[in-house]
């Protein structure tokens, strides 16, 4: 027979809160766990009713149903929210059972066994809160997220099965469903093992796979890492905007360098090419002014020719500079009209006829009549005049410059071909840029500005045309301009 002292000791060592009452609810015993949790001593609560522990959380109906259950001889179990001596609210998982007399004829008291589940509930609530936070972060992440399961064959990883995907993934790949799909299919049948072998890195002692790929016109960055076992996470970022911005920055940087080169070029032209002709003109004009009586007719004629030649070169330089300044200020606005090519070339030939005659260069116009292109008339005249002038400039005495045409789809190709000294291969790539367009002296020491071809290229671009050159040193060059044909 267990003695009362032994029973009390056993109950005091129980991890659960134990409370024993009379049939009317008067407390006759609490164990040490009760004292530890509630802060009351055994003496303080003995003779009290359990209502001393009430928190005010439960309704009267709750307690009425509880007493009705245990008063009928049945056990009751559930959660009860009580208040400790210090006022702390705790939640208990309780089981209350009646204690019957020796002959089971009547209820002689009640025993409550309770466990403090407040911390457990707090932890559960925190866990649920974190899970909700994770779900919010997962669904609202600015990057696509795949949770994957590794698929293996004969022990070797060969693909991944998508178990979960967030909303951003749908917008990146323009599709709704991913669950149960293979990663290789979503990535347009990528060879997954080869991809991983090529892009394997080590971070903090673990394998991480990072790569970049073009998918449906988007530049995507991928980062794959293990979550343990066969579980993996794949992060996908659409970096198209960033890549475009980087490209635009590079273009802006290149444009700024070009503008800086242009500035240096213009200063060089103004400081040297523009000043020197004026010095020559002023020098010969002074000779004529101060000593024309002492000069012979041939000498006067020679000086007048030099003044005329220098004036012509200086005028062309100024004209090119003004045209260039207009292009930089955005004032070159093409007005597209219907232009007959043969007549335009003939007009340019007449303007350059005297220069060609001095070098005995034949100007050939092999364009058929009735050939029309869509372009700005003044710009096209500048382009053709500049290319023909270059042909004359770099062709030796007795050579020729020929204009002829060809058709390519809906465009007319105007070829301006000379029998000149040609252009080296290394210079042909940059001949239309300012950096590669350096003023070169002609076969008869003709001066130049180095701006003509660059301006011609700008005007061709403004008219949505194309320009290129084919050349062989010592044989000649052929510049081709392509514009849309018109009927």
Distance CA 268, CA 419 (A): 31
**Do the domain assignments include residue 479?**
yes
pLDDT for 2:
47
302 alpha-carbon distance from chain centroid: 65
Which tens digits make up the pLDDT trace of 30-63?
999 999 999 999 999 999 999 999 999 999 999 9
Q: Residue 15 to residues 8, 206, 327, 406: CA-CA distances in angstroms?
A: 14, 44, 91, 101
Please tell me the predicted confidence (pLDDT) of residue 124.
Answer: 78
Kind plus residue range of the DSSP H or E element containing 400: strand 400-408
**Which residues, at least 6 apart from 17, have a Cβ–Cβ distance to it below 8 Å?**
30, 31, 33, 34, 37, 38, 92, 112, 113, 114, 115, 116
Domain holding 411: CATH number? 3.30.565.10
Q: What is the DSSP string of 335-368?
A: -EEEEEHHHHHHHHHHHHHHHHHHTTPEEEE-PP
pLDDT for residue 272 is more than 70: no
Q: Are residues 460 and 346 in the same domain?
A: yes
Do 197 and 318 lie in one domain? The reply is no
From 291, 306, 331, give the residue that closes a domain.
Answer: 331
Q: How many CB atoms lie within 10 A of CB 33?
A: 19
131 in a structural domain: no
Same domain for 354 and 438, yes or no, is yes
User: Quick one: which H or E segment has residue 83?
Assistant: strand 76-83
Together in a domain, 274 and 400: no
- Nearest C-alpha neighbor of 90 from the set 26, 13, 36: 36
pLDDT for 162-190, tens place per residue? 999 988 888 888 888 888 899 888 888 78
Judge contact between 341 and 368, C-beta under 8 A. no
CATH, residue 310: 1.10.287.130
Q: Which residue in 266, 243, 214 sits closest to 434, CA to CA?
A: 266
The 10 Å Cβ neighbour count of residue 71 is 13
Which of 168, 203, 238 corresponds to the end of one domain? Answer: 238
Task: Pick 273 or 404 by higher pLDDT.
Answer: 404
Reduced to 3 states, what is the DSSP secondary structure of residue 208?
A: strand
Query: Could you tell me which of 108, 99, 62, 97 has the C-alpha nearest to residue 82?
Result: 62
Q: Is residue 49 part of a domain?
A: yes
Give the pLDDT confidence score for residue 329 in this predicted structure.
64
Q: 234 and 327: one domain? A: no
Looking at the fold, whether 315 and 276 belong to one and the same domain comes out as: yes
Claim to verify: residue 312 and residue 187 sit in the same structural domain:
no
Q: Please, which pLDDT band fits residue 328 given cuts at 50, 70 and 90? A: low
Domain-embedded: residue 261:
yes
Q: What is the pLDDT of residues 426-481, one digit of tens each?
A: 888 788 876 544 455 445 444 444 578 888 898 899 899 999 999 999 999 999 99
Same domain, 355 and 472: yes
Q: What H or E segment, with its residue span, contains residue 146?
A: strand 144-153
**458 in the same domain as 362:** yes
CA-wise closest residue to 423 among 482, 476, 366:
476
| Confidence label for 85 from pLDDT (cuts 50, 70 and 90) | very high
Phi-psi region of 90 (alpha: psi -120 to 50; beta: other; left: phi over 0): beta
Residue 276 domain boundaries: 241-331
Q: What is the total count of domains within the chain? A: 4
Asked if 345 and 478 sit in the same domain, the reply is yes
Does 134 reside within a domain? no
Buried b (16+ CB within 10 A) or exposed e, 230-241: eebebebbbeee
On the question of pLDDT at 389 being above 80, the answer is: yes
SS3 247: helix
Q: What is the DSSP letter of 176?
A: S
Which pLDDT band, with edges at 50, 70 and 90, does 262 fall under?
low
Residue 26, sorted as left (phi over 0), alpha (psi -120 to 50) or beta, turns out to be beta
3-class secondary structure, 119: helix
Shared domain for 169 and 193, answered yes or no, is: yes
Domain boundary among 331, 366, 393: 331
Answer yes or no: is 126 within a domain: no
Does residue 132 belong to any structural domain of this protein? Answer: no
pLDDT higher than threshold 90 for residue 403 = yes
Is residue 315 located within the same domain as residue 337? no
Half-sphere exposure (Cβ direction) of 36: Cα atoms closer than 13 Å: 12
Considering the entire predicted model, what is its pTM? 0.45
- Provide the CATH number for the domain around residue 109: 3.30.450.20
Q: Is residue 190 part of a domain?
A: yes
DSSP state, residue 54: B
Average pLDDT of the chain, as a whole number? 84
């Amino acid at each position: 027979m267990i003695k009362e002292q032994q029973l009390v000791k056993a109950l005091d060592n129980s991890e659960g809160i134990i409370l024993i009452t009379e049939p009317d609810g008067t407390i006759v015993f609490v164990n040490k766990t009760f004292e530890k949790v509630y802060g009351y001593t055994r003496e303080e609560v003995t003779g009290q009713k359990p209502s001393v522990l009430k928190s005010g959380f439960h309704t009267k109906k709750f307690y009425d149903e509880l007493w009705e259950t245990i008063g009928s001889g049945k056990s009751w179990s559930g959660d009860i929210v009580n208040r400790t001596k210090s006022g702390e609210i705790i939640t208990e998982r309780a089981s209350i059972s009646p204690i019957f007399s020796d002959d089971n004829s009547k209820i002689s008291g009640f025993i409550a066994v309770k466990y403090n589940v407040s911390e457990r509930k707090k932890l559960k609530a925190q866990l649920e809160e974190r899970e909700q936070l994770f779900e919010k972060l997962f669904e609202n992440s600015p990057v696509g997220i795949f949770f994957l399961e590794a698929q293996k064959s004969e022990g070797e990883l060969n693909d991944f099965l998508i178990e979960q995907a967030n909303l951003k993934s749908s917008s990146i790949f323009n599709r709704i469903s991913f669950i149960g799909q293979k990663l290789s299919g979503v990535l347009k049948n990528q060879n997954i093992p080869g991809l991983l072998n090529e892009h394997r890195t080590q971070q903090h002692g673990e394998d991480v796979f990072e790569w970049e790929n073009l998918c449906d016109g988007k530049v995507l960055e991928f980062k794959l890492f293990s979550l343990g076992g066969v579980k993996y996470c794949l992060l996908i970022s659409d970096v198209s905007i960033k890549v475009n911005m980087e490209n635009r920055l590079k273009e802006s940087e290149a444009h700024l360098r070009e503008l800086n080169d242009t500035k240096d070029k213009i200063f060089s032209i103004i400081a040297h090419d523009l000043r020197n002709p004026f010095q020559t003109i002023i020098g010969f004009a002074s000779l004529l002014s101060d000593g024309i009586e002492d000069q012979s007719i041939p000498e006067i004629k020679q000086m007048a020719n030099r003044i005329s030649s220098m004036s012509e070169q200086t005028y062309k330089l100024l004209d090119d500079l003004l045209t260039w300044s207009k292009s930089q200020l955005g004032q070159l606005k093409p007005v597209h009209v219907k232009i007959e090519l043969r007549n335009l070339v003939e007009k340019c030939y007449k303007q350059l006829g005297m220069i060609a005659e001095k070098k005995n260069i034949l100007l050939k116009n092999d364009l058929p009549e009735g050939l029309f292109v869509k372009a700005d008339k003044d710009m096209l005249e500048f382009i053709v005049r500049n290319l023909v002038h270059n042909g004359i400039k770099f062709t030796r005495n007795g050579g020729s410059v020929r204009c002829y045409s060809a058709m390519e789809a809906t465009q007319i190709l105007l070829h301006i071909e000379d029998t000149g000294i040609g252009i080296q291969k290394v210079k042909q790539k940059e001949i239309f840029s300012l950096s590669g367009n350096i003023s070169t002296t002609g076969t008869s020491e003709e001066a130049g500005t180095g701006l003509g071809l660059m301006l011609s290229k700008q005007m061709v671009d403004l008219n949505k045309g194309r320009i290129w050159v084919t050349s062989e040193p010592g044989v000649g060059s052929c510049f081709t301009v392509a514009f849309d044909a018109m009927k």
